[in-house]
Structure 1
Amino acid sequence: MSKKLKVSLIQTELIWEEPLLNLSAFDIKLKELYGNTELVILPEMFTTGFSMNPQEIAYSYTIYDWFKNHAMAGNFAIYGSVMFKKDSGTYCNRGIFMKPDGDFTVYDKRHTFTLAGEHEVYDRGEKPVIAEFKGWKFNLQICYDLRFPVYARNTQDYDVLLYVANWPVPRVNAWDALLKARAIENMAYCIGVNRVGTDGTGMDYSGHSQVYDVLGHEMIKDHPWQTEGIQQVVLDKEHIEFTRKKLRFLEDRDAFTLE
């Protein structure tokens, strides 16, 4: 178990529907972090941008090897999402949490973004997913999931919420507000990694990637962060334990289950 965890957020532009070019760009960024972090967070659909055209460019199981190679070489875990082709021939927006020993956890995005027609192209996930690493528990989430607090509800005593996104400029105020709210209401760290630049549909993205602590305090001080780059923060398990012991808000949760 690790009481402290060094996390790196990669906020960057994405090349529209060019998986090989994006992977090459991330190869360079990840190699810069080898031996200098414990967890790396990438944006949503980091190989393509938020595209509704998965035919011919979606990855299947071969993408796991890319994750595994970097995780093993860098001795860190990685979380990010890609358009993924399932054995059934259908597609999903799949989050992959890969650990350096090659063990991994997958989460298929539950709330497909109907405004962009994502629900017509990608299957939605069936359940919340928790990944564990170095004694930490992570609730894996993707972009639009951020708007649905019931799905993030902390009934599993997780430590960190992870949101990877392509969240556009017109609604970035909601991104900022909801990330902070999810941290406060769940008494957990909340990490949101967004992209920057313009995608193939003309949609603009301004980043605003951020880490909030259990009390909703910003951990990346130059906010809003709107440029390409890598930010690093250190999460502290004692911060979670002390705050939850002092402020026992989670004990007053209403009892109900998701269907």
Structure 2
Amino acid sequence: MENLSVAIIQTKLKWEDIDENLFRLTEKLNQVSDTDLIILPEMFSTGFTMNAKLVAERESGKAVNWLIKMATSKKTAITGSLVIEENGNYYNRLFFVFPNGKYKTYDKKHLFTLAKEHEHYSAGSEKIIVNYKGFKICPLVCYDLRFPVWIRNVEEYDLLIFVANWPNKRVKAWGALLKARSIENMCYTIGVNRVGLDGNDHLYSGHSAVYDALGEKISKENKETEFIEKVTLSLESVTKTRKDFGFLKDRDAFNLI
């Protein structure tokens, strides 16, 4: 069975400065080699801004083109979210770009009402599953982490990804929820958060992490500063864990309306 080499990029973000963020991230991605997937934070090109009209791009914009260029040149998949305008609406849209430049997208379902995200962005309605290197991957965005019914593993996915701008004042919840999602869904779970201050003086302390299907933390870094860490995920391991314990067979059946 396949292994998946993943690089998580915990980084500062320059407030609403797309060019500077892409420049900095290019330098960081150039430090990564021989990996299958690179994960960036939420709104990696701007920070978590409500100034959607000011910073939004179309899917033909520079940040999406940068993702495609980096993925194809490095021959790796890359994922992260950014601000997209489409038909007069604004979305916190996650892109999963494959090494061939093709991509799938997910619009953040749960908008962060505490920051009035729902007043500036439109919510998504469909969860996506990405098939890549033998893994079924479910990529989600930040606040989605708090909603286990939406996340519930009815698709037999192997890896959950959360890209985030999760503030320091609630970082204990971040760690607890990542671990809980990995346990209840019997899958690898990766959370990639940013660090530093944003334009609203909110502090982000990172704590990006990787958990296995039993909720054990398998990443090593525990810094509250910028870092890059590579972790190898084993499809055989997650498959064996489910076979040995079988907890997913007892899950409740339901439909979301």
Amino acid corresponding to residue 256 of structure 1 in structure 2: F
**What is the aligned partner in structure 2 of residue 45 from structure 1?**
43
Q: Is the 8 A contact 2:221 2:229 kept in 1?
A: no
**What is the aligned partner in structure 2 of residue 111 from structure 1?**
110
Distance 1:23 1:59 in 2: 14
**What is the aligned partner in structure 1 of residue 74 from structure 2?**
74
Cα RMSD for the two superposed structures: 1.0
Amino acid corresponding to residue 112 of structure 2 in structure 1: F
Compute the displacement of 1:222 (Å). 3.6
Compute the displacement of 1:64 (Å). 2.7
Identity of aligned residues (%): 49
Distance 1:72 1:180 in 2: 32
**Which segment is superposed worse, 114-123 or 130-139?**
130-139
Q: Is the 8 A contact 2:138 2:159 kept in 1?
A: yes
**What is the aligned partner in structure 1 of residue 21 from structure 2?**
22
Distance 1:200 1:127 in 2: 30
Compute the displacement of 1:257 (Å). 1.1
Shift in CA distance, 171/131, structure 1 to aligned 2, threshold 3 Å: same
Distance 1:57 1:255 in 2: 41
The number of equivalent residue pairs is: 255
Distance 1:235 1:160 in 2: 9
**What is the aligned partner in structure 2 of residue 123 from structure 1?**
122
**What is the aligned partner in structure 2 of residue 210 from structure 1?**
209
Tell me the TM-score normalized by structure 1.
0.96
Consecutive aligned runs of 4 or more in structure 1 exceeding 4 Å deviation:
none
Distance 2:224 2:131 in 1: 30
Deviations 1:151-177 (A, max 9, x none): 110000001000000000110000000
Asked if residue 3 in structure 1 is aligned to residue 16 in structure 2, the reply is: no
Q: Secondary structure at the match of 1:162?
A: strand
Deviations 1:95-118 (A, max 9, x none): 000001122110000000000000
**What is the aligned partner in structure 1 of residue 93 from structure 2?**
94
Instruction: Write out aligned runs for 1:175-194 (5 A).
Output: 175-194=174-193
Q: Secondary structure at the match of 2:53?
A: coil
Q: Secondary structure at the match of 1:240?
A: helix
